[in-house]
Amino acid sequence: MTDTQSVRKAIEFYTIELAQLADGAYRVSMTATTVDDEEPQLLCPEITSGRVTSIDDALAVIKNSIAGMT
């Protein structure tokens, strides 16, 4: 019988980028940095990226993305 349980890598840190666009909207992008188990390197997969209309919406995207990683 094979073990189908996946092992999630520990997140070392998150990188969050916010940029205000010319029309007043915001661009939010987020990556999570982990350590590769097979090679001595860091991995930085993108978690989310998108356009939102307010800072409150950007914070909600960040909160939901982090909550989805736990």
Interval 25-47: pLDDT, tens:
999 999 999 998 888 899 999 99
What confidence tier does 70 reach under pLDDT thresholds 50, 70, 90? low
Alpha helices in 1-70 (DSSP H): 55-69
Is residue 21 within 8 A of residue 39, CB to CB? The reply is: no
What is the Rg, in whole angstroms, of the alpha carbon atoms belonging to the chain?
A: 15
Output the pTM of the full model: 0.72
Give the pLDDT of residue 62.
94
Give the start-to-end residue ranges of the domains of the chain.
13-69
